[in-house]
Structure 1
């Protein structure tokens, strides 16, 4: 019965398999050099995405498409990808970015149908930002991109992956700054995926610890949260809204409605299962593939060795 009630409603797409950052939780240290082998890079073309999406919507009521990576803004045809999704009648289109992209891109994406941008901001200090990203890009540029997206009229959220020993001291500064600007901050428990999977417990900072840290300065209470949301939201007395995405300590797997696609067009039913599926050429065989993908979904998050940049993080 449970299997019948679960539905795929959100498609998260890794439009390319690489990034301009080498964040500690995503990229193995021996691969963090900017001179890494580019022969393994994959790009999802607008034509292939449209083909796959046309097929999927014959069987699934997709409410939202979320374009991720890697770093999706490195994709030279990103506005076309967004436009292709929009042309198929999907009105909720999001992009997650590290904020380092060309001037004018936000407006180009919005003109094609983009409705939301999520920005990865793991630190509010330049030194902390460099420590996590393994890059010496100016944090000020990222912050200005977040403000630009907000001023353009897009819905904007900020994501911070919290790692013990790296950025737990950044939780309050991030809430202070973004809260005053009316931007929601979401704190993510470090997920047991990718290069630090085996050392997960060493860097894990729980949802309880995050709330206790925020509680040292702010009074807050639960805030309206959608039933299919990955985050549990709270609101401070000052009106600052923050969410916590706690895959490990507050699992939400049983309500997960996400289907994932990598940059080659393969689909995945669950972050905790590395099994991928090729989509058939016609809709007559699609039901079986989607059912198989749904069966990979777990009741509790266990993680995998896949790096998030390959599976639409």
Structure 2
């Protein structure tokens, strides 16, 4: 039997269980919330984050902390959370956002210690954006925020969750925009998470279909991909870099190094398992809990009723 050499190195923290959008793949209309774990909105406090990181750092090497949500920029103590991570000597601090937040926040986050921003960019058009997000907001602001983050000096990536019948016709437009602005774009297979479990097959657009769409206009070849990356990267003849995160058709579970924490400070070992664990303050008990969390990891992504709105990507 092959020895499991996986270890936790990246901590993804959902700092609040709330989002300003109602994206179709996360919180569609007329769908009950299947997750009874979050009857109210919860915000992770800087104090709780510090205590949990302190516990974890004594047992695992944390290379990166990635703040997610919900929409993390809605957290009133976001800057303090980032500063807390910096004070704990976390070198890589990232955040994923929908891009709709107050002016000046990007610079404040960078000054606090943020090193990377990932933006959800699911549509190039205004109509497509409204259909996916269920919000009548100007998509131009999202493009502006992405370029602002890049100009501020942060490392920037954009993520596009591809859904058949929604935005599969915008793959090439998004690649051109991102490539021309020298920003890597990652296309995500729609994951079988949360309230769209039954409709998953109808909306699913595979990694192969994404590549077949891109090859119609761009020749491409493999590009350097970190060994622990969730995406497989390619580069076009024009120099456009894109990645594909194919949880379902090309699973990468065997190399997963991610540990997740929710807004209550509970940890999860796998997106395909909604079992959570409390981190004990007693140091001798922590390795047992981490081993239990590791044992929830799957060899292939199977999905979960846990909505991405509550546990992050």
- TM-score tier, shorter chain, comes to over 0.9
Cα RMSD (Å): 1.3
Which deviations, in whole Å up to 9, do the C-alpha atoms of 1:186-213 show, x marking residues without a partner? 0000000011112111100000000010
Distance in 1 (alpha carbons) for counterparts of 2:147 and 2:42? 30
Q: CA–CA distance in 1 between the matches of 2:92 and 2:3?
A: 26
**1:307 — aligned with what?**
307
Is it true that 1:166 corresponds to 2:157 in the alignment?
A: no
In structure 2, the residue corresponding to 1:47 is in which secondary structure?
helix
Distance in 2, Cα, partners of 1:239 & 1:290: 41
- Give the structure-2-normalised TM-score: 0.96
Cα distance between partner residues in 2 of 1:261 and 1:116: 19
Q: Which residue of 1 is the match for residue 297 of structure 2?
A: 297
1:54-111 Cα shifts (integer Å, max 9, x gaps): 1000000000000000000000111111111111111100000000001111011101
Q: Match for residue 40 of structure 1?
A: 40
Instruction: Give the Å deviation of 1:312.
Output: 2.2
Q: Deviations over 1:6-55 (max 9, x none)?
A: 100000000000100000000141369xxxxx971010001100000010
In structure 2, C-alpha distance between the alignment counterparts of 1:209 and 1:198, rounded to whole Å: 21
Asked whether 1:242 is paired with 2:216, we answer no
CA contact (8 A) 2:251 2:301 kept: yes
Q: Does the 8 A contact of 2:14 with 2:68 survive in 1?
A: yes
CA offset digits 1:239-295 (Å, max 9, x no partner): 000000000011000100000000000000000001000110122110000000000
Which residue of the partner structure matches residue 231 of structure 1? 231
Give the C-alpha shift of residue 5 in structure 1: 1.4
Corresponding residue for residue 35 of structure 1: none
Alignment partner, residue 209 of structure 2: 209
SS of the aligned residue for 1:254 comes to helix
Indicate yes or no: 2:50 matched with 1:14: no
Q: Residue 182 of structure 2 contacts residue 240 of structure 2 at CA under 8 Å; is this kept in 1?
A: yes
Q: How is 1:1-313 mapped onto 2 (pairs within 5 angstroms)?
A: 4-30=4-30, 40-313=40-313
Number of residues of Structure 1 aligned to a counterpart in Structure 2:
308
User: How does the TM-score come out when normalised to structure 1?
Assistant: 0.96
Q: CA contact under 8 A between 1:261 and 1:312: conserved in structure 2?
A: no
Contact 2:31–2:195 under 8 Å retained in 1? no
**Distance between the aligned counterparts of 1:84 and 1:187, measured in 2?**
31
Deviates more, 1:206-215 or 1:39-48: 39-48
Specify whether residues 293 and 238 from structure 1 end up closer, same or farther in structure 2 by C-alpha distance, changes over 3 A only: same
In structure 1, how many angstroms separate the alpha carbons of the residues matched to 2:107 and 2:45? Answer: 21
Output the CA distance in 2 between the equivalents of 1:2 and 1:312.
Answer: 30
* Partners of 2:260 and 2:241 in 1: CA distance: 28
Q: Deviations over 1:158-207 (max 9, x none)?
A: 00000000000110000111100100000000000011112111100000
Q: 1:39 to 1:260 in 2, by over 3 A?
A: closer
Indicate how the Cα distance of structure 1 residues 188 and 69 shifts in structure 2: closer, same or farther if over 3 A, else same. Answer: same
